[in-house]
Structure 1
Amino acid sequence: MTEWSTFLPDESATVAAGARLGRAMGAGGDLLTVHLCGDLGAGKTTFTRGVLSYFGHSGAVKSPTYTLVEVYELPARTVYHFDLYRLGDPEELEYMGIRDYFVPGSVSLIEWPSRGEGVLPPPDLVATLKVQDGGRIVKLEASSDAGAALIERIKTDE
């Protein structure tokens, strides 16, 4: 399995790591799905802010806990930021037309993906963030060939 991890000493390093993932994604036409895992306060939304900043978003990024999804239509990519923390049942995703979000050229960043299990498509990449030693650790694990290619691009960017 292809993986990569690094220590993130502060918020700016977490944003920079997200931007690095965004750079690896580029402006390609592939659909990319990333599951964001970690406890409350681990930095999932901060990491997402970095991905969005790479693609040109400069405004606020809030976790879509109550709306389930925030859509960012950016010049290079459309990015969907999901937060499934308050999802009562995975079937609710079907009612919101979840399958319509997973289209070529888009990126889906999904916080609390376990709450949508059985309905969500498999991820290309799983990003796990953990609080550790006064900062964070981010670990990226590939779940597809596209995910492995992303990690290889991140590694060559070091």
Structure 2
Amino acid sequence: MRQTTSTEATKQLAATLAPYLRPGDVIVLNGDLGAGKTQFVQGVAAGLGIGGPVTSPTFNILLSYMDGALPLFHFDLYRLDGSDQLEDIGYFETVDGPGATFIEWGEKFPEALPYGYLEIDITVNESGIRLVQAHSFGERARNLLFVWAKDSKSRLAQTQ
């Protein structure tokens, strides 16, 4: 668990995850509208050395960034009505693909999440402070969370 007090701090925290990502890693981002999910992806993208702007894929559903140390795929499932639409957007091929996949609003379709993924919940309190909590599902995600939490720059604290 980590608190961030600004957009930049959220991006800096996310950038500390980038060096540990591997092809096939899936990160599910949960949080209300405006909580900082896209900002988190922007931080990871910067950490991967992705050049150009990283924007919310709300209307595109999927944005791909291939110019970093690892391909980055960014889904926003907010506008989808049913899990049958996932097939139409190449969701399953992308999740099993050659890069790290970040999924906003993945909780809408829990049956479509892979066996293993890292879940990051971002909540904002009335003072504008973001609370970032991470949970792992599956062995690879558990290992990813472990090395990320041990990184002194992330300053993630373990919670019970």
TM range (shorter): 0.7 to 0.9
TM-score (norm 1): 0.88
Q: Does structure 1 conserve the Cα–Cα contact (< 8 Å) formed by 2:116 and 2:139?
A: no
CA shift for structure 1 position 72: 0.6
Please show how residues 55-66 of structure 1 align to structure 2 within 5 Å: 55-66=48-59
Match for residue 94 of structure 2 among 96, 101, 118: 101
| 3-state SS of paired residue (1:14) | helix
In the TM superposition, residue 104 of structure 1 has moved relative to its aligned partner by 5.0
Q: Which residue of 2 aligns with 1:84?
A: 77
The aligned counterpart of 2:26 is 33
Q: Which residue of 2 aligns with 1:7?
A: 3
Pairing partner for 1:23 from 5, 14, 19: 19
After TM superposition, give the deviation of residue 119 of structure 1 in Å. Answer: 2.8
Cα pair 2:45 2:68 within 8 Å, conserved? no
Q: Which has the higher strand share?
A: 1
Look up the match of 1:113: 106
Q: Percent of pairs identical after alignment?
A: 30
Cα offset, 1:123, TM superposition: 4.4
Q: Tell me whether 100-109 or 66-75 shows the greater mean CA deviation.
A: 100-109
What letter matches 1:141 in structure 2? Answer: H
How far has the Cα of 1:97 moved from its partner? 2.5
Structure 2: gaps (5+ residues): 153-160
Structure 1 residue 146 and structure 2 residue 146: aligned? no
Aligned length: 151
> CA separation in 1, counterparts of 2:70 and 2:27?
14
Unpaired runs of 5+ residues, structure 1, are none
Aligned equivalents of 1:154, 1:96: Cα separation in 2 = 30
* Distance in 1 between residues matched to 2:41 and 2:68, nearest whole Å: 17
Q: Distance in 2 between matches of 1:150 and 1:122?
A: 15
List, as ranges, runs of 4+ consecutive aligned residues in structure 1 with deviation greater than 3 Å.
Answer: none
